[in-house]
Amino acid sequence: MDIRRTTTTRRAMAAVAIAAGLVLTLAGCGGGEDDDEPDRTGSSSSSPGKGGGDEESKGDEAPPADKVLAETRDGDVGVKITSALRDGGGFVTVSGTVTNNGDRSWMGADWASDERELRSNGGSLSGASLVDTEGKKKYLVLRDTSGRCLCTKFDGRVKQGETANWFAQFPAPPEGTGTVTFQVGSMPPAPLDISEGE
């Protein structure tokens, strides 16, 4: 019996020693990875979307908010159009920014529509339009039954040096129409391409 116990004990101790050796070996390998990990994180976070091909990097490749489709200027007021998206609901939403580079506040009064139904909108994009030159059609800003435009209304003024976001919704041109011209106030017309939504 003593020989069996001694043999069993030796086997158990050998197994513990081997297991301990493996744990230390794995811990040693793991420690090296931890030392390298900041470098790996730094390099992967500094270059997202450079062809990694994973789903997260594809999500980062969405159209950037600062992508400019068209830009136009009237005096000290500059307009950038960053999106023109056709929606499945039959309309196009155009959005962007307006920057006041002048020395006075600006409120968009000359952007308002002169239509009687839209006069209550005040300084807004109610006077904006999309022109399909190929189809020879002009699309005015959509409005609800109360005469409110489906667009940004500048309730306050855009102070000097400030930038404000804006949007305006229009009826969608026919499916084959990809390029339209955006017009508002006395701004020069700005041609832009419509992108397809979901």
- Does 173 have pLDDT greater than 70? yes
* Whole-number Å distance between alpha carbons of 122 and 184: 14
Contact assessment for residue 132 and residue 139, using Cβ atoms and an 8 Å cutoff: yes
Which string of DSSP letters, residue by residue, matches 66-115? Answer: T--SEEEEETTEEEEEEEEEE-TTSEEEEEEEEEE-SSS-B--GGGS--S
The string of pLDDT tens digits covering residues 26-82 is 445 554 444 444 444 444 333 344 444 444 433 334 344 568 999 988 888 999 999
Main-chain phi, psi angles of 51, to 5 degrees: 100, 20
* pLDDT at 127 (0 to 100): 86
- Does 111 have pLDDT greater than 80? yes
Contact assessment for residue 185 and residue 127, using Cβ atoms and an 8 Å cutoff: yes
Q: Which fold has domain 70-196?
A: Immunoglobulin-like (2.60.40)
* pLDDT at 14 (0 to 100): 54
- Does 84 have pLDDT greater than 90? yes
Work out the percent of the chain whose per-residue pLDDT is above 70.
66
* Gyration radius from the chain CA atoms: 31
Contact assessment for residue 93 and residue 107, using Cβ atoms and an 8 Å cutoff: no
All structural domains of the chain with their residue ranges: 2-60, 70-196
